[in-house]
Amino acid sequence: MFVTHESWSSNASALLGEGHTCMRIVEWQSCYHFYQVIVEEKQNEKMIARQYFLTDVDVLEDVLEKQSEDFKVTGVLLMSPAWMNGGGGWAMNKVLSLIVGRGEEGGKVSMHKVAEGVVYTSPAGGKIDTLEEEGFKVLI
C-alpha cells in the first residue's frame, strides 16, 4: 500500500481542482512487488502521457481491461523486492509478459517475464497448475 503524511503534500493540489492531492513523497509499505504503468490518455482532444503506480496484479488487470481508443497502456514496469528478483535489493524491470493462474495449492501465482529474459514469480518459486484452466490468464 502507498501511504503518505500530510506534511508531504504540496500546495499545487489547488491547481488540479477538487478531489486531487499532490504529494511530494509517498511510501511503499509492503515487502511485495508493485507496478508502474505508463499510459496515453485522451484529454481535450490530445493524447497525454501519464504514469500510475499500482499496488497489485488485480488492479493491473483492471487497468488493462479498461483500454480503449482514448486510454492505452504503453508500458508496464515491475518493481520487485530482493526475494523476488534474487538480487540485493529492489529492482525495476520492463514487463514483457505476465501470466496469472492458480498454483498447485490453489493460491494465486503471477509469472513476470522481464526485458532481461528472467522470469520472476510471486510467491517465490510459485508454479502455475496448467491443468487448472479456470483463473489462468495471460495479461500481457
pLDDT tens for residues 84-126? 999 999 999 999 999 998 887 778 889 999 999 999 988 877 8
Please determine, for residue 131, whether its predicted confidence score (pLDDT) is greater than 60: no
Is the entire prediction scored with pTM above 0.75? yes
Mean pLDDT of 40-57: 95
CB 70 within 8 A of CB 41: yes
Lowest mean pLDDT among 3-7, 42-46, 57-61: 3-7
**Rounded CA gap, 41 and 9, in Å?**
25
Which tops the pLDDT comparison, 23 or 87?
A: 87
Residue of 119, 139, 135, 8 lying closest to 61 (CA atoms): 139
Find out whether 23 and 9 touch, Cβ atoms under 8 Å. Answer: yes
